[in-house]
A = this chain, B = another copy of it.
Amino acid sequence: MVIAPERADRPNALLRPVPELLQDQASCPFCPGNETMTPPEILRRPGERGWSMRVVPNRFPALRVETQLARKGTGLYDSMAGVGAHEVIIETGEHARTLSQLTPAQVFGLLQVFQERIIDLSRDLRLRSIFVFKNSGTPAGATLSHAHSQLIALPLVPPELTAELEGSRAHFERKERCVFCDVLAQELADQERLVFTNAGAVAFCPWAARSPFETWIVPRAHESSFESGSAQELRAVADALAVLLRKMDRALEKPAFNLYLHTMPLREARNDWYHWHLELKPVLTLQAGFEWASGCFINPTPPEEAAAFLRQTEV
């Protein structure tokens, strides 16, 4: 767990109501003209009003690169200093435009920015894994409405990714095949959980999805690390993501959602057993007592029904 006291000022500070999403361009730190409201920028893509995308450090970082990587034991317990990085990717200069309203070319540009930041950060040998994610809408955890993604680099490989890597490796050891390639083959044959496909990517609602309308985008080409993905693969995934976000907006009336990238830990050699992909979860249900207790999720919408509904949704 990441204990980040800099993100709260008193023990019960979280009682303050979640701030309203900033709708006012004048006070939006992600709007052109307000660049001084963010920490100094890390990356800028040129655009009409000076830039089209910017990457800046998070003002309230969960982790920092400036920290010493110190580990210690306290009796039974282990801890390490919060070395890492927490960046914000501002996806557009236009205050009211959502990611679903960007062109496929712009979404492709965003994936390229993700790649560039991951490659840059992977030079820091203390960092072991990177998560690129997007919280869209207050129920999904967003506190600012201006379209943005985030990136967190960790000095370890955390539990969810470890579990996925171990499962994938175990499948490969038994079958000598990538489990994601096997899943793609089965989904393309079964059809019933497919949302849509293009030449380079497949969007489907996964078997035993944890939550309603959970949808994954998996590139057809086997590639273990996102940062090794070719421009052609990235373009196919970007096209698929642009279509998927529009379908979600139409089918579910602009739902809040979480989107994230799963890719290999940093600096690992390309391998035959893991396969990077995107996972998108609209926020329609809550993690409640049973889910916390069991790690099991109750999903009232079978993925087959969600996929059929999204297939029929025209965009």
The interface of chain A, by Cβ under 8 A from chain B, is 1-8, 11-15, 62, 74-77, 79, 129, 131, 133-135, 139-141, 150, 152, 154, 158-163, 179, 182-183, 186, 189-190, 207-210, 212-213, 251-253, 255, 258-262, 279, 281, 284-290, 292-303, 305-306, 308-309
Residue of B nearest to A138 (CB): B286
Question: Is there contact, CB below 8 Å, between A158 and B296?
Answer: yes
Of all A-B residue pairs in the complex, the 9 with the closest CB atoms, nearest first, are A141-B288, A160-B295, A133-B289, A8-B300, A260-B293, A159-B295, A7-B300, A258-B289, A11-B309
Contact of A154 among B133, B288, B296 (CB under 8 A): B296
- Shortest distance in angstroms between A169's beta carbon and chain B's nearest beta carbon? 16
Using A260-B290, A262-B293, A289-B133 as known contacts, say yes or no to A299 and B12 having CB atoms under 8 A apart: no
Instruction: Add 13 more A-B contacts to A133-B293, A259-B289 (CB < 8 A).
Output: A4-B299, A7-B298, A8-B301, A11-B306, A62-B290, A76-B182, A77-B186, A131-B293, A150-B289, A150-B290, A161-B293, A258-B288, A260-B290
- Shortest distance in angstroms between A227's beta carbon and chain B's nearest beta carbon? 16
Question: Is there contact, CB below 8 Å, between B302 and A3?
Answer: yes
The count of identical subunits is 2
Question: Is there contact, CB below 8 Å, between B154 and A294?
Answer: yes
Residue of B nearest to A257 (CB): B289
